[in-house]
Amino acid sequence: MTNRLATESSPYLRQHAGNPVDWYAWGETAFHRARAENKPIVLSVGYAACHWCHVMAHESFENPRIASLMNERYVSIKVDRQERPDIDEIYQQVSQMMGQGGGWPLTVFLTPQGEPFFGGTYFPPDDRYGRPGFARVLITLSEAWRHRQDELQVSIAQIQQGFWQLDQAQQGGPTADVEDLSAQTAHALARNTDPAHGGLGGAPKFPNPSCYDLMLRVYERSREPVLLDALDRTLDHMAAGGIYDQLGGGFARYSVDAHWAVPHFEKMLYDNGQLVKLYADAYRLTGKPTWRRIFEETLAYILRDMTHPEGGFYASEDADSEGHEGKFYCWTSAEIKAVLGESEGALACQAYGVTERGNFEHGATVLHRAVELDAVEEAQVAGWRERLLAARARRVRPARDDNILTGWNGLMIAGLCAAFQATGVTGYLSAANRAATFIQNELTLADGGVFRAWKDGVAKVPGFLEDYAFLCNALLDLYESCFERRHLDRAIELATLILDKFWDDGLYFTPCDGEPLVHRPRAPYDGASPSGISSSVFAFLRLHALTNHDLYIDRAEHEIQRYESAAGKAPSAFAHLMAARDFVERGPFEIVLAGEKSAATALATGVHRAYLPARVLAFAGDLPIGRECHPVNGRAAAYVCRNRTCAAPMTDSNALLEYCSSCRV
């Protein structure tokens, strides 16, 4: 017997279709019933690959006793946070106000009007782990609703006041002439980097790609060793650790320990898109072969396992298979030797850190690079990897969330473009173009905007700020990679729509014509991915450099000034905004290419290969400034322009790269 979630398209909602809970999807039907029966609402938010969501589902939502309490006393609503990040953003704040922290599963209790009065994350079925049992919470809050609504109204009013206070705290305002705030932020993050294993903080440990992107940008101009050391330590230890899939490529969401050994095994598209770009950019700056191997193996995973036949990228893969977390990924020494033989298997166990005791459950090991390898040994490991990967492919795979999300696809397109520019591998550019075409064909609104999600031929939910901003930047990356004018035109259209839909004395997360909710969030903090605000600022700054349209720079500087004081207090939460500030304060330079397009593109090859974070690239015929840029003696030429003034044309790619490198500061 199934509930009404069986008819939903979301893989996460369908996971709960067999629960004995009388679930509703978010919508007026649920709220109408709550008002008609004067029942409070229990809102549960999660996503398809979330391990602890599965745990709470098994312990509580499949429990007949708890389901009965929910059905008798509440109207129960399930939300997929990947489809509705606006709902998640608002009610995560409630959990944080309650001192419960944030995360998933998110559990919030609402009035029939959607007003929150209590919230938390995971609740066990009965009291344990220092947490109240879900059954007790359900009974206590329903009794309060029936008999002590005056007390709940106080809580509701306090939460509404809390929303306002959070908005004020997030903004902060401009700083008092802090010199080089971007560099100060980068240094603060470097100081907080684990001196032994890299990464920020202790366990659990997340990759934080925006933070290390900022360090890379500041290092490129300052050449301060402390920044490169923090970056190098982090990227090397992640690449060698269990957070990286040593056989299949790709990164898990985070490690449960401080040294990247044992991951929380789900793989998210947004992490992998950002990390491909970070490793590709770091490779462009340093030429370190390991970093190229990592981003190429990760892209092999994405193109093999996470790509729709028509080009879009799927959202995530689960942590669990056959009811156990990590079962797909872990190995015993006996399993390794069964594939490779006794002798080679013993060597492979040494290389991958596989022991009889193991480092995970039931004596199994999460593979990691346990020893340094020379070039000959690396070739041998590549052979082991191929054979072990083929053997692993015969296991039961974790479930895949095959939602295609616009913003997350934008992050992966950007990663593919960075990989193409770093290597010249045309397959990466082709994959980026196919994904952009998929988004254009399948997720475009009638007014030119974007939908949030697509599945099985159906686009759903109008997009949020991050969808527009991530895609806008991705299309600028794609334009700079292949100089197809349609990508630039579409990026400009998306930037215009950002200002039309999301601007009201600053940027909001939700569009002005979106569903009315109890709060309209701005959401300026970077999380696992950059905030929509910081990404929009970056798009505005890049477009201003290309078009000289003053509205872009005005809006970008407005947002930088609004949040820079808060950035000084919370560096990791505003790293991407500080990267945008670094970009504009360095005085970005335009490289304008003139001549026959294929020859002009070839001239840009050296610039593509180099890490030049303060440059924009364009073809002369696509920009007003390009009207004065012409070939030289029939040869393609490049003009490097800064502050609307262009240097003498260059026709040699080496000379062009040398000149651009001198524009570092």
Domain count, the chain: 4
Judgement on whether residues 435 and 542 belong to the same structural domain of the protein: yes
Judgement on whether residues 419 and 376 belong to the same structural domain of the protein: no
What's the confidence (pLDDT) of residue 575? 98
Residue 80 sits in a domain of what CATH number?
3.40.30.10
Judgement on whether residues 265 and 410 belong to the same structural domain of the protein: yes
Arithmetic mean of pLDDT, 359-365: 94
Instruction: Give the percent of the chain with pLDDT over 90.
Output: 87
Judgement on whether residues 496 and 447 belong to the same structural domain of the protein: yes
194 within a domain of the structure (yes/no): no
List 118's β-bridge partners, or say none.
109
100 within a domain of the structure (yes/no): yes
197 within a domain of the structure (yes/no): no
pLDDT at 255 over 80: yes
What's the confidence (pLDDT) of residue 349? 95
What's the confidence (pLDDT) of residue 643? 78
pLDDT in tens, 149-188: 989 999 999 999 998 888 887 776 676 566 789 999 999 9
Query: Are the C-beta atoms of 295 and 279 separated by less than 8 Å?
Result: yes
Residue 233 sits in a domain of what CATH number?
1.50.10.10
Of the residues 362, 394, 426, the one at which a domain ends = 394
Judgement on whether residues 469 and 561 belong to the same structural domain of the protein: yes
Distance CA 24, CA 292 (A): 46
Judgement on whether residues 579 and 609 belong to the same structural domain of the protein: no
Judgement on whether residues 229 and 270 belong to the same structural domain of the protein: yes
Range scoring the smallest mean pLDDT among 429-443, 461-475, 650-664: 650-664
Judgement on whether residues 581 and 625 belong to the same structural domain of the protein: no
pLDDT at 102 over 90: no
176 within a domain of the structure (yes/no): no
Of the residues 585, 618, 638, the one at which a domain ends = 585
DSSP 101-137: ---SSEEEEE-TTS-EEEEES---SSSBTTB--HHHH
Judgement on whether residues 428 and 561 belong to the same structural domain of the protein: yes
* Confidence bin at 48 (pLDDT 50/70/90): very high
What's the confidence (pLDDT) of residue 376? 65
pLDDT in tens, 266-309: 999 999 999 999 999 999 999 999 999 999 999 999 999 999 99
Q: What is the mean pLDDT of the chain?
A: 94
Look at strands 116-120 and 106-110 and give their pairing.
Answer: antiparallel
195 within a domain of the structure (yes/no): no
Distance CA 121, CA 93 (A): 11
494 within a domain of the structure (yes/no): yes
* Confidence bin at 23 (pLDDT 50/70/90): very high
Judgement on whether residues 295 and 419 belong to the same structural domain of the protein: yes
Q: Which domain holds residue 567?
A: 183-189+206-321+401-585
523 within a domain of the structure (yes/no): yes
**What's this model's pTM, rounded to 2 decimal places?**
0.96
Q: Compute the chain's Rg from CA coordinates.
A: 26
pLDDT in tens, 185-219: 999 999 999 999 999 989 999 999 999 999 999 99
Range scoring the smallest mean pLDDT among 9-13, 37-41, 626-630: 626-630
Distance CA 71, CA 622 (A): 60
pLDDT in tens, 416-433: 999 999 999 999 999 999
pLDDT at 98 over 90: no
Judgement on whether residues 439 and 368 belong to the same structural domain of the protein: no
308 within a domain of the structure (yes/no): yes
What's the confidence (pLDDT) of residue 170? 74
Judgement on whether residues 295 and 363 belong to the same structural domain of the protein: no
